[in-house]
Amino acid sequence: FPSMPSDGFETKFEIEPTELGRLIDKTRFAISTEETRYYLNGIFLHTVAEGSAAKLRAVATDGHRLALADATAPKGATGMPGVIVPRKTINELKRLLDDAADMVEIAVSTQKIRFALGDAVLTSKLIDGSFPEYARVIPKSNAKKLKLDNKAFAEAVDRVATVSAERSRSVRLALDKDKLTLTVNNPDAGVATEDLPADYRDDPMEIGFNARYLLDVAQQIEGEEALFELADSGSPTLVRDEADEQALYVLMPLRV
């Protein structure tokens, strides 16, 4: 069995298991499964400076959606190399975290990462690639705001999507004053439509999204309401959870 060298790690720090688990839970659904874009097959873990505060940030994207979650950077984490932790490692780590009670020791180098949790030590190679400049796809000035009940929205998306055998079918969102209309059109099975009350005060617009992606994001929202920040039918939409200011989601629209 090949020996895994125990040192050579430039950065070492500790983090609460619940906090690390949260970073994983908020982002891993957006990890790409497309092997040709191998640099997207994991979570990008790095630190960022925001004002005087440093954040430990996890980001995942498959090119169609993006998930980002922040935590206060633990002592010793600042300046760590940005690393892409493979999907398999992430899934195994999450399984270990579910049973962890003590602090998790993380050691990072440019080629590998080690997680020590109680009696378990998980060491993994990192994905050798450059994660894209994700900040460029996060909208900064989407002026149209849509606020709605997240549970009711998720249930409505699920209902209208059942008209199609594929959950990946596009759902059209028609926004009007204080109303949202969801529509799925399946040439073989007909049309499903549902209206929802919503807090929306801007000009009417229509935009389409992959139904599965909408449901994935809705599952991450902890608060009662989801906030969509939109520009137009062809631009990325930002989704926020009013109960968690440390996470955000970006969805690329589909043509409808």
Question: What is the spatial distance between Cα 186 and Cα 229, in angstroms, rounded to a whole number?
Answer: 28
Give the pLDDT of residue 101: 87
Whether residue 1 is predicted with pLDDT greater than 80 in this model: the reply is no
Whether residue 239 is predicted with pLDDT greater than 90 in this model: the reply is yes
Q: Which of 254, 111, 63 is nearest to 173 (CA)?
A: 254
Average pLDDT over residues 20-42: 97
Give the pLDDT of residue 52: 82
**Helix, coil or strand: residue 199:** strand
Q: Is residue 256 part of a domain?
A: no
Q: Please provide the size of the chain in residues.
A: 256
Q: How many domains does the chain have?
A: 2
Question: What is the spatial distance between Cα 187 and Cα 164, in angstroms, rounded to a whole number?
Answer: 9
- Same domain, yes or no, for 15 and 103? yes
Mean pLDDT across the chain:
94
Name 252's Cβ contacts closer than 8 Å, sequence gap at least 6: 63, 64, 65, 236
Give the pLDDT of residue 5: 57
- Same domain, yes or no, for 15 and 131? yes
- Same domain, yes or no, for 185 and 216? yes
- Same domain, yes or no, for 121 and 207? no
Q: What is the pLDDT of residues 133-181, one digit of tens each?
A: 999 999 999 999 999 999 999 999 999 998 876 756 899 999 999 999 9
Domain of 15 in residue numbering reads as 11-136
pTM value? 0.93
- Same domain, yes or no, for 27 and 56? yes
- Same domain, yes or no, for 19 and 39? yes
Q: Is residue 184 part of a domain?
A: yes
CATH number at residue 92: 3.10.150.10
Tokens of 101: 């009670």
